[in-house]
Amino acid sequence: MSKIKMNPIVEMDGDEMTRVIWQEIKDELLSPFLELNTEYYDLGLPNRDATSDRVTVEAAEAAKRLHVAVKCATITPNAQRVEEYKLHEMWKSPNATIRAALDGTVFRAPIMTPRIKPVVSTWEAPITIARHAYGDVYKATEYRVPGPGRAELIFTGKNGESFRETVYDYECAGVLQSMFNKDTSIEAFARSCFEYALSVRQDLWFSTKDTISKQYDQTFKFIFQRVFDAEYAEKFAAAGIEYFYTLIDDAVARVIRSKGGFIWACKNYDGDVMSDMVSTAFGSLAMMTSVLVSPDGNFEYEAAHGTVTRHYYRYLKGEQTSTNPVATIFAWSGALRKRGELDGNRELADFAGRLESAVLGTINSGTMTGDLALLCRDPDVKKVTTAQFIAAVRKKLEG
Ligand code: NAP
Ligand code: MG
């Protein structure tokens, strides 16, 4: 059987358990079937440190050039990681760097299988969370305030116009933070959401706390409405879908009572938190896919979970872990399908579909990793290691 040819995609390798699984997926599920063509960037923490994090910036630039990227989970360093890896600096989150470079929106959707019932019994279809991937608390400036004094917010305009406002007159020590966002990024966010909703023909919900944040959050609400009215109202009507704005508190209540099958657009922090809640309620964080879509049509696919550190430490001791590779496999299949779509490479897009079917077929036949076995009460379930699961998927793919 001749292997399927493809144009290059950007491959961003990562850390710990997911780095191990990354290699297994390539060896067992991709290379035997494809002439796998990637431009490789090692975003593992040791190489980020060795390159002063230049490798992350280069990988993001490559994603803009090749339009399709697939990324492994990576460590976001904290004080403990600086110590553990003897880092020169506490490098920024690679995801934050890549998101900023692409100015895109992250769409996270659960992978559903009949074997795993969502905790919320009314959910019948996936809920996709669209997370604004720019600014807010992720790019905030913050201080520990050492003691009494005045905090002020100052804006100095290019044309000389400026504003100054007292934030707080501290009578004791405390904390202080300032966040920013910009209209161009919010507009790009809105456009990505409306475009994505049209492409999957699902309603789009958007929520903020505009009753409390009368400048910041209200700006998001107004920009969404303006872009919708000017560019999307007719297209949505023609597609039979709706755009709907509500307060985030109301959205949370409605989401829990819903049947699913819509996109929920959230500001950066809300999207971070809510996607973990939604993915857990759908089953497992390990069954959540994530794609960063930039308004000019670049796509970066990854799993929503992290590097699964606790499993990695057990792996280092020689244990065969039962870490779920499904979201990482779907990151690859998502990227390969998109490459196929963009290039008119039908064989490649078909392969992506067959790979996903093989994964879902394996789970439906009762073979799954421990995290899923815990959620699935069926008596015929067989809990397997990562390597055994991947081998079972390969067998289905070959069969
Ligand atoms: P995590 O890697 O997502 O793992 C948290 C826990 O969730 C695991 O200990 C495991 O639970 C379960 N889990 C997650 N993925 C799983 C999988 N594929 N199969 C089975 N169980 C899975 O989050 P974390 O431990 O908070 O973070 C670890 C590192 O990942 C951190 O350094 C963080 O910076 C990084 N991170 C990276 C990304 C990214 O690159 N996108 C995202 C999040 C976190 P049990 O131990 O109970 O089995
Ligand atoms: Mg999170």
Q: What count of Cα atoms within 13 Å lies in the side-chain half-sphere of residue 83?
A: 3
Q: What is the domain count for the chain?
A: 2
Mean pLDDT for the chain overall: 95
pLDDT score at 308: 97
Domain limit, last residue, from 282, 312, 332: 282
Residues 122 and 240 in one domain: yes
pLDDT score at 29: 98
Residues 226 and 121 in one domain: yes
Residues 173 and 190 in one domain: no
| pLDDT digit string, tens, across residues 265-297 | 999 999 989 988 898 898 888 898 999 988 777
- Which residue in this structure is represented by tokens 């929503």? 304
Kindly give the interhelix angle for 346-364 and 326-343, rounded to the nearest 10 degrees: 160
Pocket test for ligand 1, best of 95, 280, 305 (most atoms within 8 A of CB): 305
Residue identifier of the C-alpha nearest atom 37 of ligand 1 = 306
pLDDT score at 217: 97
Residue identifier of the C-alpha nearest atom 45 of ligand 1 = 310
| pLDDT digit string, tens, across residues 340-358 | 999 999 999 999 999 999 9
- Amino acid present at 297: G
Cα-to-centroid distance, 308 and ligand 1 (Å): 4
Cα–Cα distance between 320 and 341 in angstroms, integer?
37
pLDDT band at 90 (very low <50, low <70, confident <90, very high): very high
By DSSP bridging, strand 243-247 and strand 204-208 are parallel
What percent of the chain is predicted at pLDDT more than 90?
83
Ligand closest to the CA atom of residue 12: 1
CB atoms within 10 A of CB 5: 11
Q: Which residue range forms the structural domain that includes residue 129?
A: 117-140+181-282
The CATH number given to whatever domain includes residue 212 is 3.40.718.10
Residues 186 and 278 in one domain: yes
Section 87-91 average pLDDT: 95
Pocket test for ligand 1, best of 307, 312, 330, 383 (most atoms within 8 A of CB): 307
With respect to residue 242, please indicate whether it lies within any of the assigned structural domains. Answer: yes
pLDDT score at 293: 85
Pocket test for ligand 1, best of 285, 315, 324, 369 (most atoms within 8 A of CB): 285
With respect to residue 107, please indicate whether it lies within any of the assigned structural domains. Answer: no
Residues 232 and 136 in one domain: yes
Residue identifier of the C-alpha nearest atom 5 of ligand 1 = 308
Positive or negative CA dihedral for 83, 89, 90, 91?
negative
The CA-to-CA distance between both ends of the chain, in Å, stands at 13
With respect to residue 373, please indicate whether it lies within any of the assigned structural domains. Answer: no
pLDDT band at 307 (very low <50, low <70, confident <90, very high): very high
Cα–Cα distance between 148 and 110 in angstroms, integer?
48
With respect to residue 258, please indicate whether it lies within any of the assigned structural domains. Answer: yes
Q: Which two tokens stand for residue 183?
A: 């209209």
Domain limit, last residue, from 282, 307, 335: 282
Residues 235 and 159 in one domain: no
pLDDT score at 345: 98
Residues 125 and 221 in one domain: yes
Residues 169 and 127 in one domain: no
Cα–Cα distance between 100 and 105 in angstroms, integer?
10
With respect to residue 207, please indicate whether it lies within any of the assigned structural domains. Answer: yes
Please state the φ and ψ torsions of residue 13, each to the nearest 5 degrees. Answer: -75, 165
Domain limit, last residue, from 247, 282, 317: 282
Section 37-63 average pLDDT: 98
Q: What is the 3-state secondary structure (H, E, C) of the chain?
A: CCCECCCCEEEEECCHHHHHHHHHHHHHHHCCCECCCEEEEECCHHHHHHCCCHHHHHHHHHHHHHCEEEECCCCCCCHHHHHHCCCCCCCCCHHHHHHHHHCCEEEEEECCCCCCCCCCCCCCCCEEEEEECCCHHHHCEEEEECCCEEEEEEEECCCCCEEEEEEEEECCCEEEEECCCCHHHHHHHHHHHHHHHHHHCCCEEEEECCCCCCCHHHHHHHHHHHHHHHHHHHHHHHHCCCEEEEEHHHHHHHHHHCCCCEEEEECHHHHHHHHHHHHHHHCCHHHEEEEEECCCCCEEEEECCCCCHHHHHHHHCCCCCCCCCHHHHHHHHHHHHHHHHHHCCHHHHHHHHHHHHHHHHHHHCCEECHHHHHHCCCCCCEECCHHHHHHHHHHHHHC
